[in-house]
Chain A
Amino acid sequence: MTQDVATLAPRLAAICGKDAVITDPLELATYECDGLTAHRCRPGLAVLPQTAAQVADVVRVCAQENVPFVARGSGTGLSGGALPAADGVLIVTARMRAIVEIDAESRRAIVEPGVTNLAVSKAAQPYGLFYAPDPSSQQVCSVGGNVAENSGGAHCLKHGFTVHHVTGLEIVTPAGELTWLGDGTGLAPGYDLTGAFTGSEGTLGIVTKIIVKLTPIPQAVTTLLAAFETTGQGGAAVSAIIGAGILPAAIEMMDALSIEAAEASVACHYPQGAGAVLIVELDGPEQDVLAESAAVRQIAADAGAFEIREAADPDDRAAIWRGRRAAFAAMGRISPAYIVQDGVVPRTALHDVLDRIGELSAAAGLRVANVFHAGDGNLHPLVLFDDSSEAEAAAAEELSGAILDECIRHGGSITGEHGVGVDKSKYMPRMFGPDDLDTMQLLRCAFDPAGLCNPGKVFPTPRLCGEVPGVRREPHPLVTSGQAELF
């Protein structure tokens, strides 16, 4: 694989058109990282196909030439999943932006992978429908990227993740074959490859069309903001809400430090002196929402809330959400750099884990701001540090790892929605045993025996797939190129 990928440019240009192939180093620099800027690599070349057939042709060329390839949607991923390969082709879906069909009666849409998440909801709105998974990045992130990451959002507590809303995928396999997984019903005969593909982080092929479920826009929505003195009180309120049999659309929590950053950044005017705020959004039929909001107010008050606000109209709701939505970016106001973590713990362990994060933070001498999807125990601890100090950057990395260890110790996960990518593959062996990882990679071997599709992601060590009849007769390319241990 020492061959210079740039020599493929004319062949790819013949497939996609000259303006769709990028070889200029400066232009390629735009694509050297995704939302996780700590990992950078300039791709050998980038190509922007417009059709599924073009994607298939491009992949076939890569497969023939043994060149690795990586799909990229909008590049908002937070785990380095779309990190290109220096000796590979980056396949960018930005020109595949058609909403192919909306079947409002069936509550289904067929979209191309480059369509943004929010564009689907906008297109569905005239029919009284929306696309439920709503990552905070929804204005820019692509549905193809959402499928690859099995993205969630604040409202997935009630409405589910991407995988619950995808019923069919047209993909280009790593061998360059264009095929459908699933037929839109969710009940296609055979294995549920649609489900298994979702969340595979671009390692099993390239999605070229997605059949998504659309959800009726709820009749009523109300948003409550409850301010507490401590995160412990807020956590107790969360448990009590769930314990009362209420399933809010979203329950989000912010601690004092993240409130401070959000105030500095967007002046969200959360109650003075709050050590924690809880945002609870309820949706559904009007009568039910009314009853539930009364119950939530009571529960919050009992748990020690000193102020409760409620917003039933869209503007007031947006005001409540403004601080939460700005939370990540706002860290820039109070710290030169920060690491976003994405650990998950059982909801009942939130209190213990937050205490432990406090201890770890004090011991490391680094501040940690906590913003999280409290309803499903998905923490986003933001480890603040000064990136001009190498020692502090190393300490921040170590503290992040210690927080993930804490999540695993409580039976949780190293990632709730951002994916493993290149960033967390080293933590996978802390969560899964060698047999678990080996078994997962059987799926990889079935789809991509040559290991060319987004190599080096998710798994710390690639599994050599062995002789696959009719697919490949020579030794594994990773072995011949001496790269087997590189990934």
Chain B
Amino acid sequence: MAHTSIPASLASACDDVRPATAADTVAGIQPSLVAAPATTEQASAVMRAAAALGLAVIPRGAGTKLHWGYPPERADLVLDLTRLDQVVEHAAGDLVVTVQAGVRLEHLASVLAEAGQRLALDCAARPLPSGPATAGTIGGVLAAGAAGPLRLRYGTPRDLLIGITIVRADGTIARSGGKVVKNVAGYDLGKLFAGSRGTLGLITQATFRLHPIPAAAAYVIVSCDSAAACARLVSAALAAAVSPVAAELHLASLAGPCELAVALEGDHDGVAQRSGMLADLMAVQETSHVAAVASQPPAWWRSAGGAPQEGTLIQVAFWPGKLGSVLTGIAAAAERAGLDPVLRGSAGSGVLHLSVPRSADPARVAGLVASLRAALHDRGSAVVQHAPPPVRDLVDLFGPVPSLNLMRAVKQQFDPDRVLSPGRFAGGI
């Protein structure tokens, strides 16, 4: 679309505005322009100009999850936030960091590691068409609400976020929270924006609580011949006095063995003692399985929800104690649909990911999603994070959404003209 002319108001709002190319496609929709502001103020000026021009805006970080959700109803301008790439302040003594939205998690991790600290968000990395694999940018991970195995101990991004700077659809810059871990002054807009998928405003800066990198870590790994046995072991590991920070499972095929890995962190002696204890306990629980203690996670650990971009990725969330029946429900749903998804997930936290290859028959995938929802009732959800167009056409990606009318009212207040990622989110928000 090289013929697109750049509106003067946009060009004066930001020093980097360019025509979009095929590489800027958003879930199959081709935008016409890309703007890459270098500061929150520039981002605000771009939003003001875009509002005046009536452009629909799609915020973008590294682009690892841009294919999530519905395709936008309209997409005129991609707002590339990767030039906001500064670690603004690392207050090591306070275990707090303030970062701009475009900073990649890997870069932030290397800066924090110099002080022996980390942001306890271990989202899976994803290869990109250009450049190395990345877990994404701070803004993108926040907007997607993405988390990894450590969620068992540290939760999701909203649990670590203590302050946020946003730019509204009309260009207004606003802050909430702050840079102290304990703070209840005013509404906590960070909670609202975490997981909002770019539909309420741009996230341009965020402040997080940090944690020390533990002196030692160990992984107790066991392979079970049934999902039921695996569920019993997860339950035993969580009940034991070993303080696991993650409990992940992996089934390459629903017919095959269920691999379980439980992570323990702390000081050297403590971890050594607890991992030994846990391995023994697992052996007693399920005598046929031998648990190994390793200093590194299994190879599949980092591939959380590792569906190839082109396939279908379904997130199943449930009350953690129901793991056994959920695993049975998933197996039954998959068998009924005639599919054999790869199953990965944070068993101890009540979240699993099913990946189905692109080649799968769309009607079968839709059937799988419907059966999963029926099995979960109202105490859980099956959300299709991303799916190829033929599947997208057949399923409601988000399923039933509690209080959708309130969510619509929130969207209406923040983005009355529906210019921010319109139609991408739950209920077509």
Residues on A lying within 8 angstroms of B by beta carbon are 103-108, 128, 149-150, 152, 156, 160-161, 163-164, 173, 179-193, 195-196, 198-200, 216, 218-219, 239, 242-243, 245, 247, 284-288, 291-292, 344-348, 373, 376-378, 411-420, 424, 428, 431-433, 435-447, 458-459, 465, 468
Interface centre among A196, A219, A459 (most CB of B within 10 A): A196
Q: Please tell me the size bucket of the interface on B.
A: 35 or more
> Quick one: given A185-B381, A245-B215, A432-B175, are A439 and B158 in contact (CB under 8 Å)?
no
Contacts of B238 in A (CB 8 A): 107, 216
Of all chain A residues, the one with the shortest Cβ separation from B264 is A285
Question: Cβ of A285 and Cβ of B274 under 8 Å apart?
Answer: yes
Q: A411-B179, A412-B180 are in contact. Are A348 and B91 (CB under 8 A)?
A: yes
A400 → B minimal CB distance (Å) = 15
**Can you sample 16 A-B contacts with CB below 8 Å?**
A105-B235, A128-B239, A179-B403, A192-B145, A195-B188, A199-B184, A285-B274, A346-B91, A346-B179, A411-B179, A412-B180, A417-B184, A432-B186, A443-B189, A443-B410, A468-B409
CB contacts (< 8 Å) of A107 on chain B: these are 238, 320-321
Which residue of chain A lies nearest to B194 when distances are taken between CB atoms in the complex? A192
Report the nearest B residue to A410, measured CB to CB.
B180
Residue contact B174 to A188, C-beta cutoff 8 Å = no
A45 to B317, CA, bound (A): 43
Beyond A195-B158, A218-B241, A413-B183, 16 additional pairs, beta carbon < 8 A:
A105-B320, A106-B319, A108-B321, A187-B156, A187-B381, A189-B381, A192-B192, A195-B191, A195-B192, A196-B188, A199-B184, A200-B187, A376-B181, A412-B180, A431-B186, A446-B410
Within 8 A of A (CB), among B157-203: 158-159, 166, 168, 172-176, 178-189, 191-192, 194-196, 200
Inter-subunit contact A106/B403 (CB<8 Å): no
A239, B184: Cβ atoms closer than 8 Å: no
Which of B378, B409, B410, B413 has the most chain A CB atoms inside 10 A of its CB?
B413
B402 touches A183 (CB 8 A): yes
Quick check: A106 and B402 within 8 Å, CB to CB? no
The reply to whether B381 and A188 form a contact with Cβ atoms under 8 Å apart is yes
Structural contact, A189 and B399, CB atoms closer than 8 A: yes
- B423: interface (CB < 8 Å): no
Determine if B141 is an interface residue (Cβ-Cβ < 8 Å): no
Cα of A34 to Cα of B186 in the assembled complex, Å: 20
Q: Is the CB of B267 within 8 A of A288?
A: yes
Q: Which residue of A lies closest to B320 (CB)?
A: A106
Instruction: Please list the residues of chain B having a beta carbon within 8 angstroms of any beta carbon in chain A.
Output: 91, 93-96, 116, 145, 155-156, 158-159, 166, 168, 172-176, 178-189, 191-192, 194-196, 200, 211-215, 235, 238-239, 241-243, 266-267, 269-270, 273-274, 315, 317-322, 350-351, 378-381, 383, 398-399, 401-404, 406-407, 409-410, 412-414, 425-427, 429
For A378, give the chain B residue with the smallest CB separation. Answer: B182
- Nearest A residue to B381 via CB reads A189
- What residues of chain B lie closer than 8 Å to A245, measured between beta carbons? 116, 212-215
Inter-subunit contact B412/A287 (CB<8 Å) = no
Measured between alpha carbons, how far is A242 from B91 in the docked complex, in Å?
A: 13
Residues of A close to B321: CB separation below 8 A = 103-108
| Complex: chain B residue closest to A168, CB-CB | B402
Contact present for B187 and A446 (CB under 8 Å): no
Inter-chain contact A187/B351, CB cutoff 8 Å: yes
Cβ contacts under 8 Å, B401 to chain A = 188-190
B189 touches A196 (CB 8 A): yes
B413 touches A163 (CB 8 A): no
CB pair B402 A413 closer than 8 Å:
no
Give, as a whole number of angstroms, the nearest-CB distance from B238 to chain A: 7
- Which of B192, B194, B213, B269 counts the most chain A CB atoms within 10 A? B192
- Interface centre among B158, B182, B213, B214, by most chain A C-beta atoms within 10 angstroms, is B182
Q: Are B174 and A436 in contact (CB under 8 A)?
A: yes
Among B191, B350, B379, B407, contact of A190 (Cβ-Cβ < 8 Å): B407
Q: Which of A180, A419, A443 has the most CB of B within 10 A?
A: A443
State the CA gap A287–B274 with chains docked (Å): 8
- Say whether A346 contacts B315, CB under 8 Å: no
Cβ contact within 8 Å between B383 and A189: yes
Q: Are A190 and B166 neighbours in the complex by a CB distance under 8 Å?
A: no
Report which residue of B145, B180, B213 has the largest number of chain A beta carbons within 10 angstroms of its beta carbon.
B180
Partner of A377, one of B182, B319, B383: B182
Q: Which of A160, A186, A191, A195 contacts B407 (CB 8 A)?
A: A191
Kindly state the separation between the CA atoms of A239 and B91 in the bound complex, as whole angstroms: 12
Q: Are B381 and A285 in contact (CB under 8 A)?
A: no
Bound CA–CA A447/B414 (angstroms):
13
Partner of A428, one of B94, B186, B239: B186
A contact residues around B378 at 8 Å (CB):
183
A191 CA to B173 CA, complexed, in Å: 21
Give Cα A184–Cα B381 distance, bound, in whole angstroms.
11
Which residues of A are found within 8 Å of B407, using beta-carbon distances?
Answer: 190-191, 193
In the bound assembly, the distance between CA atoms of A128 and B236 in angstroms comes to 13
Q: How far in angstroms is the closest Cβ of chain B from A166?
A: 11
Inter-chain CA distance A287–B276, complex, in Å, is 13
* A181 with B175: CB separation less than 8 A: no
Q: Specify which of A173, A180, A198, A348 is in contact with B191 (CB 8 Å cutoff).
A: A198
CB-nearest residue of chain B to A104: B321
Partner of B187, one of A161, A218, A344, A443: A443
